[in-house]
Amino acid sequence: MAREGAALVTGATRGIGAAIATTLASEGWPVGVNFRSDAAGAERVIAAIEQRGGQALAVQGDVSDPDAADRLCAQVEERFGPVMVLVNNAGVRADNLSPQIDDEDWRLVLDTNLSGPFRLIRRALRPMMRARFGRVINIASIVGQRANPGQANYAASKAGLIGLTKTVAAEVARRGVTVNAVAPGLVQTELAAGVDEQRFFEAVPARRAGTPEEVAACVRFLASEEASYVTGSTLTVDGGLTA
């Protein structure tokens, strides 16, 4: 189905972001595929989208850079029209026990996982409200909802993202714009490398990690017309871990 406007997915070179970009393209959205450093990864995602008849554009930018939001949205607008679906997916971790987290690792994680999404939301909302349609989907984590020792900076960023989601959702609900979060548990990607899987799987009722495609399916729903009355919510996708 041809769409008015476009989707923008941050951190879409691999993992969950790549799966989301591909899924939204298959729903008919032209997609801005954001990357920070991995231009080849972005090109691979775009080639896969185009092979299936979709449209995509690589947009370079570090979301922790205060100027990135405007640049990324402007590039997508120029090629495909306004961003109607914004997926804040780019995220990093810099784990340590709280006494050992230095200012640099605190700032890196908060700037990337929370301030970046805030600036993109701020930039993208006005055209969405004008269009009386918009979908903002923030990729949070179950670590934003319950303790995970060694991830205080990451937990603070993801809990902040959930709070941001709820408040912005309430601000724009009457304009036809929805704002939701998705909170994955452990998903097989580079970010999850190093996790003690055996110990982890014992705690997960599904006894396995999730796939990027399983997270992307949740985003597909939240981005759809059918999800128009779902806003301010956090959709957990964790194989039952936090049930």
* Residues with a known catalytic role: 154
Strand runs (DSSP E) across 15-100, as ranges?
A: 31-35, 56-60, 83-88
Choose one: 57-65, 99-107, 169-177, 223-231; the region binding ligand NAP (CB under 6 A): 57-65
- The residue count for binding ligand NAP (CB under 6 A) is 30
Q: Taking every pair of C-alpha atoms in the chain, what is the biggest distance, in angstroms?
A: 52
Closest of 27, 37, 127 to residue 76, by C-alpha: 127
Cβ proximity to ligand NAP: between 14 and 123 the closer is: 14
Q: What does the chain come to in residues?
A: 243
Cβ proximity to ligand NAP: between 22 and 133 the closer is: 22
Report the alpha-carbon distance of residue 221 to residue 228 in Å, rounded.
10
Amino acid at position 27, single letter: E
Question: Which are the contacts of 78, defined by CB distance < 8 A and separation ≥ 6?
Answer: none
- Within positions 168 to 207, which residues make up the interface with ligand NAP, using CB under 6 A? 184, 186-187, 189-192
Query: Binding of ligand NAP at residue 92 (CB under 6 A)?
Result: yes
CA distances from 107 to 11, 94, 103 (A): 18, 10, 6
Structure token digits, residue 61 = 């930018």
We find the least distance from the C-beta atom of residue 95 to ligand NAP, in angstroms, to be 12
- Tell me, what DSSP letter sits at residue 69? H
Cβ proximity to ligand NAP: between 176 and 233 the closer is: 233
Query: Binding of ligand NAP at residue 90 (CB under 6 A)?
Result: yes
x-or-dash pattern for ligand NAP, window 5-44, by CB under 6 A? -----xx-xxxxx----------------xxxxx--x---
Residues in touch with ligand NAP (CB under 6 A): 10-11, 13-17, 34-38, 41, 62-64, 89-92, 112, 139, 141, 184, 186-187, 189-192
